[in-house]
Amino acid sequence: MTASKRIVLSSDHAAIALRQAIAAHISAQGWEAVDIGPTTPQSTPYPLYAEAAARRVVSGDCRFGLILCGTGQGVMMAANKVRGVRCGVCVDTFSARMIRQHNDANMLAIGARVVGEGLALDIVDAFLAAAFEGGRHAPRVEMIMALEARPEMEGGV
Ligand code: RB5
């Protein structure tokens, strides 16, 4: 399967069951789920798994990344430190759609201790069904990405 149909998934120990449910859900829709773990329930640092998924996305190996932890916040913060990542935490389907349409997000973070499985699957569906609108949103996304290259304490209003 091509990279355009490949989605990487990772989590920490707090979200293994939900991650596996999402992997099965997207596989049934025809995506190739690249589930990089973990599979054992012992406590594990979420930045390691968030980074591993992020690298798969920015390298072009996978089109999107779905990352999970207890809140979704930790994996989101870690992933957004990797150049090229645009990741948002979503607890609702509207935001999941909008981060694709307006922010061209390439990763989605979900908190397994925040949302139930049914809502999480709907959030994933909303994210994957939406497309970046471009237009007036394109230069704004470019401005986000330019922050990665700018020297400290420069710019702003
Ligand atoms: C693990 O206990 C928890 O801190 C983690 O899953 C996540 O919520 C961090 O942001």
Instruction: Summarize pLDDT for 80-108 with one digit per residue, the tens.
Output: 999 999 999 999 999 999 999 999 999 99
Q: Which amino acid residue places its CA nearest to atom 10 of ligand 1? A: 74
Q: How many CB atoms lie within 10 A of CB 150?
A: 10
Which residue numbers are catalytic?
A: 69, 102
Token pair listed for 40: 């054992």
CATH architecture, domain defined by 3-149: 3-Layer(aba) Sandwich (3.40)
pLDDT band at 155 (very low <50, low <70, confident <90, very high): confident
Determine the pLDDT at residue 156: 81
Token pair listed for 122: 């709907």
Q: Which of 10, 75, 77 to mutate to test the pocket of ligand 1 (most atoms within 8 A of CB)?
A: 75
User: Which residues pair with residue 110 across a beta bridge?
Assistant: 68
List C-alpha distances in Å: 151 to 15, 141, 147, 155.
Answer: 36, 18, 8, 9
pLDDT mean across residues, the chain: 97
How many A from CA of 114 to the centre of ligand 1?
11
Rounded mean pLDDT, 31-41: 97
How many A from CA of 14 to the centre of ligand 1?
7
Strands 64-69 and 6-11: parallel
Which of 69, 113, 73, 104 lies closest to 89 in space, CA to CA? 73
Q: How many CB atoms lie within 10 A of CB 48?
A: 13
Residue 121 corresponds to which amino acid?
Answer: L
Q: Which amino acid residue places its CA nearest to atom 6 of ligand 1? A: 70
Q: Which helix (H) or strand (E) holds 6?
A: strand 6-11
Ligand 1 pocket residue status of 72, Cβ below 6 Å: no
How many A from CA of 3 to the centre of ligand 1?
29
The separation between CA 53 and the C-alpha centre of its own chain, rounded to angstroms, equals 9
User: Which residues pair with residue 10 across a beta bridge?
Assistant: 67
Q: What is the tens place of the pLDDT at every residue in 92-148?
A: 999 999 999 999 999 999 999 999 999 999 999 999 999 999 999 999 999 999 999
User: Which residues pair with residue 7 across a beta bridge?
Assistant: 33, 64
Residue 50 corresponds to which amino acid?
Answer: A
Ligand 1 pocket residue status of 69, Cβ below 6 Å: yes
Does position 54 have pLDDT exceeding 80, yes or no? yes
C-alpha span between 134 and 141 (Å, rounded): 9
Q: Which helix (H) or strand (E) holds 63?
A: none
